[in-house]
Amino acid sequence: MKFFLDTANLTEIREVAGWGILDGVTTNPSLCSKESARFEDLIKEICRVCPGPVSVECVTTRAEEIIPEARELAKIAPNVVVKIPVGLDGLKATRVLAQEGISVNTTLV
């Protein structure tokens, strides 16, 4: 079993990481918007606290927009997994990104 925390709150992430059971974190734009840190700084810190996979969701919905957004998200930290909504465009983007070696997590299935 793996334990993933669905939040962008660093206090919560640090607490659960301290318990020794945190395998990863999933985030989304609405969770990140509730925090006071700049988005990229927040994701970098989450990735530092949680060495496992950190899913960071794209906000665009068309393949030609998802792909460059996902590439930028993947550059934030080596443990970022780009979360992409499933749909025709999401699947197209997932295929391209996976071929490039970018870790992808599909959501909203």
Residue with the two structure tokens 């020794």: 20
Beta carbons of 60 and 69 less than 8 angstroms apart: yes
Is 83 an annotated catalytic residue?
yes
Contact assessment for residue 37 and residue 63, using Cβ atoms and an 8 Å cutoff: no
What does the alpha-carbon distance between residue 75 and residue 50 come to, in Å, rounded to a whole number? 16
22 neighbors 16 (Cβ within 8 angstroms): yes
Closest CA to 79 of 49, 36, 109: 49
**How is residue 101 annotated by DSSP?**
T
Active site amino acids: 83
